[in-house]
């Protein structure tokens, strides 16, 4: 079974549009830098100082399950 290492920090809701945590992603911006990005308002913002961003192991099956949940949520919103 393959193991993936993903960033496991919890990103706070978007202060600009109020979108919940589920709609926030961490995007790399070169080297070891990253920003938070809101999928609803399509805006990036700086990561708050002191934010815990550990790498956590995830099985390939679990990662696929997470992807299915996110895809279903997006499809439901588009209806």
Q: Give Cβ neighbours of residue 57 (< 8 Å, ≥ 6 apart).
A: 3, 4, 5
Distance CA 35, CA 5 (A): 18
Question: pLDDT band at 1, cuts 50/70/90?
Answer: low
Q: How confident is the model at residue 2 (pLDDT cuts 50, 70, 90)?
A: confident
pLDDT at 18: 93
Quick: pLDDT tens for 9-46.
899 999 999 999 988 999 988 877 889 999 889 999 99
pTM of the model: 0.74
Instruction: Determine what percent of the chain is predicted with pLDDT higher than 90.
Output: 43
How far apart are alpha carbons 46 and 33 in whole angstroms?
10
Is 78 in a helix, a strand, or coil? helix
| Domain coordinates in residue numbering, the chain | 3-78
Which position has the higher pLDDT, 56 or 2?
56
């Amino acid at each position: 079974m393959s193991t993936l290492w993903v960033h496991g920090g919890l990103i706070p809701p978007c202060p600009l549009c109020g979108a919940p945590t589920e709609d926030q992603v961490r995007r790399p911006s070169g080297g070891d830098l990253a920003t938070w990005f809101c999928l609803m308002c399509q805006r990036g913002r700086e990561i708050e100082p002191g934010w815990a961003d550990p790498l956590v192991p995830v099985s390939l099956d679990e990662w696929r399950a997470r992807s299915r949940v996110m895809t279903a949520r997006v499809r439901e919103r588009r209806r």
